[in-house]
Chains A and B, each alone.
Chain A
Amino acid sequence: MGRAWAIAVNTIKQALRMKVAVVFLVLLLVLLPVMAMSVTGDGTLKGRLQTFVSYGLSLTSLLLCLFTIIVSIYSITSDIEQGQICTIVTKPIRRFEIILGKFIGVVVLDIVLLVIFAAIIYAVVIYMPKFSKASEDDLAAVKNEFYTARASLVPAEIDVSKEVAADFKKLVESQQMEQLFPSSTQDEIIASLTKRRRLEKQAAAVGQELVWEFNNVRQRDPNESLFVRFKYDVSVDPTDSQVWGRWLVGDYRQIRTGSGFETAIYRADRKDPIRTFREVEVPADAVAEDGYVAVSFYNVPLNNTVVIFPLEDGLEVLYKADTFTANYIRGVLLILCRLIFLACLGVLAATFLSFPVAILLCIVIFFMGTISGFILESFGYLGANLSLLYSYSIKLLIELLPRFDQINPTKFLVPGRLLAWGFLGKVFLIMVFVKATVLLVLALLIFSFREIAKIVV
């Protein structure tokens, strides 16, 4: 292990003295403060903070990813191309120790740089409110919606399969299938019918009430708050683009059984703009002893329109589950998972490719990874025949790609969402323990069996 560590230290020295690391360091040290001064967001303090965290972490992550790729590849290919590897391999060191040493060196550098930049961003985020003249409302909004780690509960999917089956049967009997769904497969028709039925359950006609029930709400500290985050959609746009609503939050079972009131039910009558996210805040003691809480929305007749809550993000219940700092640390660890994966990828590519080719390969994979969701989605629109071919070939390959867009920490930190240890653990397991390890083992194998010296005749 001492030998692998000697290689690691040498790799770190190389990155520092060849000024690769210095370039990235200076770039970030200049860009981060400039960004802190210049971001405005939507003008509010919260907007500024969100923009800064989002840009700051994204930039750090992007630059460190590129740094990892370059250093991990360069430190191996340069040794092979310039010949130092000849003097190293002939020492009493096993080849896997060389590769391991390179990997450890890159990861140690990554950790150091990541800690530095994460600390800078954190310091700026913590001290920004103190240096800005924000109003009380602004500060409260920041406290509740940014300096927090809120867990989210979304309504359970309602089972509509029976209704859909009935609809489909009716459709077949009415002989209108071709007319209504031209050139669609049965699956597609059923999916479309299901979506329609689900949307119906999320729509409140004038004077109608919708109730969502949630279990396992783990926040019952009465000093904390519960937030209902929602977004209205409407069938007919109101003139001022706003909708009235009467919200009730509490243990709804008390109303149904009429057994009297043990916990409070909170009521909010309010007017909110449509198609934007809004939040209703109620004290956390609305939650029943067993973690049950219901949210009801009553479509006030004044509205004169059907109010629809979009399927994906129409409504959710949020509560503070952890501190911002803990969440931030997990966010940074998420970036580290990425870097470890890329270090393994770089090391693997460097064991059998030359520097430019390996760089190209890794950067292509990196960018494919960052837009993997988009790629998967766009392939989903292929025709039936092609899609069969695709789902057994490219799709499997894309599944192997790192899904960087799925594990973007800003997705959690900007809206103050809880990034659970469980999620981090899962990402770590898949990305580091499975994918990265496979890459590293492959690299070790290739490097152990390849001819090291350049062929010169």
Chain B
Amino acid sequence: MDYAVETISLTKVFSDWWGRAKVYAVDDLNLQIRHNEVYGLLGPNGSGKTTTLKMLLGLLYPTKGRSVVLGGDGADPKINSRVGYLPEESYLYRFLNARETLDFYGRLFGLPAKVRQMRIEALLDMVGLKAVAGRPVGTYSKGMARRIGLAQALINDPDLLILDEPTSGLDPIGTRQIKDLILKLAERGKTVLLSSHLLADVEDVCDRIAILYGGRVQAQGKVRELLQQTNKRQIITDTISDGAVERIKQIVQQEHAECEISSPMEKLETFFVRTVAEAQQQARPTSGAVSTTHIGEFLTPQVQGQDVLEKLVSLHVSQEVSSVPATTEPVPADENVKPKLNEQLLEKLTKVPAQPETERVGTSQTAKTEPVESELSTESDRDEVRRGILDRLTGRSTTDNKKSQQSDRQTSEGADNG
């Protein structure tokens, strides 16, 4: 099976000045992370989480073993362009402001100016730093810097996100937002690999986890399976009368089982988030981060339920044909007049393919040679309109996305089944 990330007996030994082995930071590590999976590396401090992630990206060289990232070498620029990385601390240039920071990283990805501009605004909005985007990053609190660090990791619309302790330094609301974001990204088909020692975070978002200690995997598996107590059952009801409770107790006793009845406790996190949300509604002023939690629309969704898509297509098909062509429809986050051309340009420049590149090149070429007028009058109207709808949904106006959607859907379905 093709994995998003795979390590093969990855080992990192830190030696002293004389070359004598001192510490086994990572010891014979074998991980297999599937596509479209949120995978958590858990472990106490110094258990080798960060070292593992750094080896995946070529920041550290393994002493032994190797790793495969998205089917290639994690240090290869071609692979890098499909990966977003948030290091364990948000290493940012103190002298740049938030907008310049994101622009700088966008340039490193070779994104054209218009795309950069669009994504920067969407990301600033998403991480809630739009109001303070003109301030030098050096004046930000740790949590705010963390948000910029995350935005930086998303600017290339990555297929694989590697997040090293994404919630460290964030307030509970920020933590909640990041967790929601990770879930939303996972919904859009991204693969997320994160490390953390905050158990609650991992429990909430991860599909599968590995617990590291001393550089070795101690336990691995699906969170649900690892934690579920199969010998117990829990029933949650609305407020019911004491009589009803008594009857339930009797039924349980007939089954020869013990039964405990109490009002469930709310999670402190939920309570905290709700309290602050109420305060926000009263519009108390704050100098901190205010997030809209709107996910950056440019982040390509790679999973769409086939049936949902079909419904949408059939709904819109008549309107679309009679009204304005799909390609000139206003696109939520991108106000370009000719989004189609820009998109092609973007695809060429960014090379953030979700599938093998040759296929993409082929489709974009055919799209180019199509006369624009004939788009809606041909028999492939349905496909064209589907594209238009996808544009609206994703904030991308792709003409060559159709094929990628289908292929991605197949792979992600495969991953879901597996």
Contacts and interface: CB of A to CB of B under 8 A. Distances in A.
Interface of A: 2-3, 6-7, 10, 13-14, 17-18, 82-94, 451-453, 455-457
User: Which of A3, A82, A456, A457 neighbours the largest number of chain B CB atoms within 10 Å of its CB?
Assistant: A457
A455 B91 contact: no
B80 A84 contact: no
B59 A457 contact: no
Nearest to A84: B91
Interface string B140-166: 000000000100100010000000000
A380 B87 CA distance: 56
Interface in B96-147: 96, 100, 104-105, 107-110
Contacts, number: 87
Contacts of A2: 107, 110
Interface in B258-275: none
Nearest to A94: B77
B23 A457 contact: yes
A453 B54 CA distance: 8
A308 B42 CA distance: 89
Contacts of A13: 95-96, 100
A88 B108 contact: yes
B89 A3 contact: no
A420 to B, nearest CB: 42
B60 A451 contact: yes
Given A13-B96, A453-B60, A92 B46 contact: no
A91 B81 CA distance: 6
9 contacts: A3-B108, A14-B93, A18-B95, A83-B91, A85-B91, A87-B87, A90-B83, A93-B77, A94-B77
B95 A17 contact: yes
Contact of B14 (A10, A93, A457): A457
Given A87-B105, A90-B85, A92-B108, 15 more contacts: A3-B110, A13-B95, A84-B92, A86-B59, A87-B85, A87-B87, A87-B149, A90-B58, A92-B110, A93-B108, A452-B58, A453-B54, A453-B59, A455-B14, A456-B50
B61 interface: yes
Contact of A90 (B23, B80, B95, B104): B80
A435 B306 CA distance: 63
Contact of A92 (B51, B78, B95): B78
Contact of A89 (B59, B93, B104, B110): B59
A18 B95 CA distance: 7
Nearest to B104: A10
Given A3-B107, A18-B95, A84-B93, A90 B57 contact: yes
Contacts of A89: 57-59, 75
B4 interface: no
Interface in B198-237: none
A93 to B, nearest CB: 5
A302 to B, nearest CB: 75
What range describes how many residues of B lie at the interface?
35 or more
Contacts of A18: 95
What are the 10 tightest A-B residue pairs by CB atom distance, in nearest-first order? A83-B91, A6-B107, A92-B77, A17-B95, A92-B81, A453-B59, A91-B108, A92-B80, A90-B85, A84-B91
User: Which of A83, A88, A91, A93 neighbours the largest number of chain B CB atoms within 10 Å of its CB?
Assistant: A91
Interface string B1-36: 000000000000010000000010100000000000
Nearest to A16: B95
User: Which of B14, B77, B81, B109 neighbours the largest number of chain A CB atoms within 10 Å of its CB?
Assistant: B77
A451 B61 contact: yes
Given A14-B93, A83-B89, A84-B93, A90 B59 contact: yes
A82 B81 CA distance: 23
A93 B77 CA distance: 6
Contacts of A455: 14, 60
A40 B59 CA distance: 59
Given A14-B95, A90-B83, A6 B59 contact: no
Nearest to B350: A92
Contacts of A90: 57-59, 80, 83, 85
Nearest to A101: B108
Contact of A86 (B46, B87, B93, B104): B87
Interface string B57-94: 11111000000000000010110110101010101110
User: Which of A14, A90, A93 neighbours the largest number of chain B CB atoms within 10 Å of its CB?
Assistant: A90
Given A2-B110, A3-B110, A451-B60, A87 B91 contact: yes
Contacts of B95: 13-14, 17-18
Interface string B147-190: 00100100010000000000000000000000000000000000
Contacts of A94: 77
B109 A92 contact: yes
User: Which of B60, B100, B107 neighbours the largest number of chain A CB atoms within 10 Å of its CB?
Assistant: B107
Contacts of B85: 86-87, 90
B27 to A, nearest CB: 12
B152 A87 contact: yes
Nearest to A95: B75
Nearest to B112: A2
Nearest to A5: B107
B87 A83 contact: yes
A86 B83 contact: no
